[in-house]
Amino acid sequence: MATEATGLDNPLLVDDALQRRRYQLRLADAATDDHTLVCLPTGLGKTAVSLIVTARRLHEVGGTALFLAPTKPLVRQHATFYREALTIPDEEIVVFTGEVKPADRDALFEDARIVIATPQVVENDLVGNRISLRDVTHLTFDECHRATGDYAYVYIAERYHADAAELLVTGMSASPGGDTEAIETVCENLGIRNVEVMTEDDADVDEYTHDTDVRWEKVTLPDEVLAIRDALNEVIVDRLEQLKSLGVTNKTSPDLSQRDLNEMRGKLKRMMDADQSAGYKGMSTHAEVMKLRRATELVETQSVESVRRYFERQREAARSSGASKASQRMIADPTVREAMRQAEAFDGLHPKFSQARILLAETLGIDGGERAILFTESRDTVEALVDFLSASFAVRKFVGQGDKDGSDGMSQSQQQETLDAFRNGEFEVLVSTSVAEEGLDVPEVDLVCFYEPVPTAIRSIQRKGRTGRQADGQVVVLMAADTRDEAFFWISKRREDRMEDELAELKTATGDIEASVSGEGQSDLGAFAGDDADATEPVESESARDNGDVGLTDFAAEADGESDGNGEAAGDADAESAESDGVVATAGVDDGVEVVVDQRELDSSIAKSLSTRDGFVTRLETLAVGDYVLSDRVAVERKSAADFVDSMLDADRSMFEQVGELSRAYARPVLVVEGTNLYGQRDIDPNAIRGALASLAVDFGISVLRTEDETDTTELLATIARREQETRDREVSVHGEKTTKTRAEQQEYVVSAIADIGPVTARSLLAHFGGVEAVMTAPEDDLREAEGVGPVTAERIREVVGSEYR
């Protein structure tokens, strides 16, 4: 292990690129020895700690280092820092984001010494078996507090601990979680056994920090704004009374909590199983309450301009095709319409606008400051503040990449250009949404102003880290009196205090946490060993085998007759020989059962679950037909219960067209319908759904299988794939394409389009006359001889076919 005295003496480190800070070297020493969570206040060089560890690992162990950051701007920023601070050639420090083509990433990964990437890209490449973590000797998770639930960090850590030969994990965060349990969860998910915490109170850190003054500024809303809010609250109370009559709540106050609303939604979902009509009505009313609460939040905490823009979007949504009843009902309500009229008529300023301008004038004018950041949760407010403040200051906005809420997003280059200009003093005020919170190297500023309280310890601390880096700065939080701002204030204050206490406690309790996440007597991270391959195998008694009886694994859903004694059913050869041209066969996978997954299935957990199973390998492709390919003859189309019903009604691409393509491409097509409430979807007669299921099975020869959820679907796919490839010794072959219709289908399509006569009459005409040309040239009297064609239809056909085109 490198010592503190020689911590920066490494041939891979550029001389004098890093300042020798004792606390960074102490943290790097600890992180070199074990899987470590590094907790360090924002702006004090967590990335430098990871870079030192990376340099040591690459010099002493070799291999590749992988650095993960949650956003593209962060990835680009870290790559710039690494290239400046390391002697490694720039081309060997590569950036992986969604902008790099998947086909190029495997070669780049193979040749790189350091890969800096967004986690979603790496997750996709692991699921698709494009890259391997075997030779990764240092893996860094930046902003590692995100490693909970389904976030990509969790899956990547699991794969790393299972696959890597020489592994070391470093997690970094200024705020790893809201409580000790949350910190333990992050450590368990990343396989971290050592926790290192330093605060501004530590002697080594204190000399590099400065005071951050936090001040709460309360403003009073004018009567006109309160009148708009009260009108909206009146409608909310009415809708809550309706929900109360359904028995899903006893509360009718417009100030009820989000938890109360979530509980209501849960009760309504359960009600839909028993009483579909009441359940759907309640869900629509609940959606209306959510929209109205958003409007009141905007008028209270943002601006009247924000609520005006929100109402305009709701009005447009209510007019659009397929508009929700909740939007239509809300916009049509007389009280809401009056509130909208009052918002349109209001020509004053929200008091937060005035107070923000005063604060900026004090900081940048009277106090001689250079830069300030104003954070807000709403893009509408960003746009309005930039317009308002530009009359007094040099102002620019900073928002995310996606277009939403009527606001254009910013590209990566625009984001970087804006930050560079801010850093170079080209403008004074940055008005930003939360995209600038986490770790992005926003320059140190003299003022950070929260336009509204943020009731989350992580986000609040991240924001406040933007000031007080190089000089004393201040943080001001604006709060509207007698609004939900005040509730957020108390929530935020409690969480801030608790976070500070817990970080202090964390310093003294790291031993207990390390014991909790490592486990007694556990020498390595065996919890990441993967699924038990035998867990899903059917159990058979040896006596059954000895007596020659048929076991569970012998049952085969063969549709083409008796087995030939070799495990093949009669008719298989014909089915395989009839496969379409352009078959793309893949060689058998030596290291496991292979499942080919369509790229569009990555939103579910199924592909990730299959990829972490012992004995399974997943491969990502953009499949022409189907969602999963399990062998040369079995492909699976997966639909949730809601998707199944929706696709019955989809005029552009119906479910029957999809399964028709699937059945033409594969000998054993399977449709999985996932979910337990198939007959409770939308207002559709259950018999119509049963008819669709019957048609799929009888008319299309599709095996329709039902599963409860994604976990159940995963088990089913694994069972079929194992049976096909291990028991039946079949290979995986991806084939088929989104075909044009068969010749007969095209003929039916052409004839059915004549005067909109439809497919049934078209088939009758084609059967009677033998072809499209004969139908087109047949006299009217001959047309009437076909079954189902009367005088009116025959006349319409002749009129369309025989008329001159204009």
pLDDT band at residue 581 under the 50/70/90 scheme? very low
Helix (H/G/I), strand (E/B), else coil: 224: helix
Give the up-direction half-sphere exposure of residue 223: CA atoms within 13 A in the CB hemisphere: 0
**From CA 398, how far away is CA 167, in angstroms rounded?**
38
pLDDT of residue 106: 83
CB atoms within 10 A of CB 219: 18
Sheet of 169-173, strands arranged across: 93-96, 114-117, 64-68, 136-142, 169-173, 36-39, 194-197
399, 430 contact by CB (below 8 A): no
Are the C-beta atoms of residues 493 and 485 closer than 8 Å to each other?
A: no
CA-closest candidate to residue 229, choices 285, 297, 173: 297
Q: Is the pLDDT of residue 572 over 90?
A: no
Q: How far apart are the first and last CA of the chain?
A: 86
DSSP 563: B
Tens of pLDDT, residues 544-554: 333 434 443 34
- Whether 216 has a pLDDT exceeding 80, the answer reads yes
Considering only CA atoms, which of 231, 362, 246 is closest in space to residue 300? 231
Pick from 56-65, 440-449, 633-642, 749-758 the range whose average pLDDT is largest: 56-65
Token pair 């280059």 in the structure block, residue: 413
pLDDT at 542 over 60: no
Question: Alpha-carbon distance 796 to 780, whole Å?
Answer: 9
Asked if residue 696 lies in contact with residue 662, where contact means CB atoms within 8 angstroms, the answer is no
In terms of residues, how long is the chain? 806
Give the angle subtended at the CA of 788 by the CAs of 782 and 789, to the nearest 5°: 40
Dist. CA 458–CA 195, nearest whole Å = 18
For the cut 80, the answer to whether the pLDDT of residue 646 exceeds it is no
Candidate ranges 40-49, 70-79, 103-112, 155-164; pick with highest mean pLDDT? 155-164
Rounded Cα gap, residues 371 and 360, in angstroms: 9
What is the residue whose two structure tokens read 């998707």? 643
What is each CA distance from 460 to 199, 479, 657, in whole angstroms?
A: 16, 15, 51
Three-class SS state of 601: helix
pLDDT band at 235 (very low <50, low <70, confident <90, very high): very high
The answer on pLDDT for 782 being more than 50 is yes
Which is more confident, 216 or 115? Answer: 115
- Helix, strand, or coil here: 173? strand
**Crossing angle of helices 641-649/655-665, nearest 10°?**
100
Q: What is the Cα–Cα distance from 799 to 751, expressed in whole angstroms?
A: 14
Which of the two residues, 744 and 569, has the higher pLDDT score?
744
| 169 pLDDT above the threshold of 60 | yes
pLDDT category at 583 given cuts 50, 70, 90 is very low
- Lowest average pLDDT, out of 122-126, 198-202, 452-456, 797-801, goes to 452-456
Q: Write the pLDDT tens digit of every residue in 8-32.
A: 889 999 988 888 889 999 999 999 9
Q: What is the pLDDT of residue 74?
A: 85
Here the tokens at position 343 are 């918002």
Provide the pLDDT for residue 354: 92
The residue that leads in pLDDT, 512 or 788, is: 788
Q: 450 or 530: which carries more pLDDT confidence? A: 450
Compute φ and ψ for 359, nearest 5 degrees: -60, -40
- d(CA 121, CA 476) in angstroms, rounded, equals 37
- 3 state DSSP class of 290: helix
User: How many CB atoms are closer than 10 A to CB 782?
Assistant: 15
Lowest mean pLDDT among 49-58, 207-216, 317-326, 383-392: 207-216
Amino acid at the residue 675: G
Helix, strand, coil share (%) of the chain residues, nearest 5: 50, 15, 35
Checking if the pLDDT of 462 tops 50, the result is no
Tens-digit pLDDT profile for residues 403-443: 555 567 888 788 888 888 998 899 999 998 865 554 455 66
In sequence order, what are the residues at sequence separation of 6 or more whose Cβ sits closer than 8 angstroms to the Cβ of residue 15? none
Query: How is residue 7 annotated by DSSP?
Result: T
CA atoms within 13 A on the CB side of 433: 20
Phi–psi pair at 14, nearest 5 degrees: -70, 135
Q: What is the pLDDT of residue 458?
A: 44
DSSP secondary structure string, 232-287? HHHHHHHHHHHHHHTTS-S---TT--HHHHHHHHHHHHHHHHH-HHHHHHHHHHHH
φ and ψ at 242, to 5 degrees?
A: -65, -40
pLDDT band of 563, cuts 50, 70, 90: very low
CA distance 30 to 1: 9
Confidence at residue 540, expressed as pLDDT on a 0 to 100 scale: 37
Distance of alpha carbon 83 from its chain centroid, rounded? 30
| 606 Cα distance to chain centroid | 14
For residues 150 and 605, the answer to whether their CB atoms sit within 8 Å is yes
Name the β-bridge partners of 474. Answer: 213, 447
For residue range 140-163, what is the model confidence (pLDDT) as tens digits?
Answer: 999 999 999 889 999 999 999 999
In 641-702, the DSSP E strands lie at 668-674
CB 485 within 8 A of CB 301: yes
Instruction: List b or e across 296-312, with b for residues whose CB sees 16 or more CB atoms inside 10 angstroms.
Output: bbbbbbbbbbbbbbbbe
- pLDDT tops 50 at residue 588: no
**Helix-helix angle 655-665:686-698, to 10 degrees:** 20
Do the beta carbons of residue 763 and residue 748 sit within 8 Å? yes
Condensed to tens digits (0 to 9), the pLDDT of residues 715-766 reads 999 999 999 999 888 888 887 654 555 788 788 878 877 866 777 788 889 9
Residue 296 has a pLDDT of 93
Q: What is the pLDDT of residue 35?
A: 95
Q: What is the pLDDT of residue 31?
A: 95
Q: Do 686 and 679 form a contact (C-beta atoms < 8 A)?
A: yes
pLDDT digits (tens, 9 = 90+) for 352-378: 999 999 999 999 988 888 889 998 888
Can you tell me the distance from the alpha carbon of 756 to that of 719, in angstroms, rounded to the nearest whole number? 46
Q: Chain-wide mean pLDDT for the chain?
A: 80
Stretch 510-538: mean pLDDT, rounded?
A: 47
